[in-house]
Amino acid sequence: MVFIEITSWIFIASGGLLGIAGGIGIHRFPDFYTRLHASGITDTMCAAAFLIGLGLQTGMSIASLKLLLIFIFLFFSNPTATHALANAASLGGLKPELDEDHSE
Amino acid sequence: MIFSVATFAILITIALALARAFMGPTVYDRILAINMVGTKTVLLIAAFAVLSGRTDMLDIAVTYALINFIGVVAVLKFVEQGNFYTSGEDS
């Protein structure tokens, strides 16, 4: 039991750390596409780690089944939303900022 | 105790994303930040449900995840086309 507790704490803590990293990332990166990179990856991974940690806390019950449903849905919908966002921005004419020294 | 730490981390992330949503230079930055807030809200509801032992609230988290995705895609379609009634292929 103690082992399961510690494992779930590690998962929840890493999920929270990833979330804060993503939140800092969307402030530190210079333009939209790099911010998309920061948010898209950490969002999916933060949700995954967090829900696995919560599922370890609840044990085998209907609650962990619901957590698994949220996990599966977020795991598919979050990258899809990120792709739709990048596609809409690129179709909408938003150009990525390029470093002029290396763009030739 | 770990739950308060986790909830605090999620709230910090929501605050950072909301700041980006208010500041964001383009409309896509705002949508990106709001998508992030929605995901973190799902996690917050799930954490609160497991923390307080009221696991019925996980249904709300499932519903919120579905609504968040549909909402982001709908807002993107609206921004891209300016309306909801054209199919998008002829624009």
Q: Where are the domains of chain A?
A: 2-88
What pLDDT shows up at residue A31?
A: 86
**Of residues A3, A4, A1, A2, the one with CA closest to residue A56:** A4
- Give the global pTM: 0.86
Please compute the mean of the pLDDT values over residues A39-57 and round it to a whole number.
Answer: 89
- How many domains are contained in chain B? 1
Predicted pLDDT at B64:
92
Within a domain: residue B70? yes
Interchain CB distance below 8 Å, B65 and A74: yes
Reply yes or no on whether the pLDDT at A83 is more than 50.
Answer: yes
Give backbone dihedrals phi and psi of A87, rounded to 5 degrees, phi first: -65, -45
Please indicate whether, in this complex, the C-beta atoms of B5 and A13 are within 8 angstroms of each other: yes
- pLDDT average, residue stretch A62-66: 88
* pLDDT over 70, % of chain A: 94
CA-to-CA distance for A68 and A61, rounded, in angstroms? 11
Give domain status of residue B87, yes or no: no
For B86, the 3-state DSSP assignment is coil
**B90 lies in a domain?**
no
DSSP category for residue A104? -
Chain B residues whose CB is inside 8 A of the A36 CB are 32
Quick check: B17 and A26 CB within 8 A? yes
B86, part of any domain: no
The per-residue pLDDT for B50 is 87
Contact B58 A70 (CB under 8 A): yes
Identify the residue whose tokens are 């939303």. Answer: A81
Q: What was the pLDDT predicted at A102?
A: 59
pLDDT on residue A91: 84
Q: Considering the domain boundaries, does residue B72 fall inside one?
A: yes
Please indicate, yes or no, if residue B58 is contained in any of the structural domains: yes
Give yes or no for A36 touching B (CB within 8 A): yes
Q: What is the pLDDT of residue A30?
A: 86
Write out chain B's pLDDT in tens, 91 residues. 777 888 899 999 999 999 999 987 888 889 999 999 999 999 999 988 888 888 888 899 999 999 999 999 888 888 877 777 776 565 4
CA distance linking residue A48 with residue A68, whole number of Å: 10
* Distance from C-alpha of A21 to C-alpha of A19, rounded to nearest angstrom: 5
Give just the sign of the alpha carbon dihedral A45, A46, A48, A49.
positive
Q: Does residue A103 carry a pLDDT above 60? A: no
- Structural domain that includes position B15: 2-81
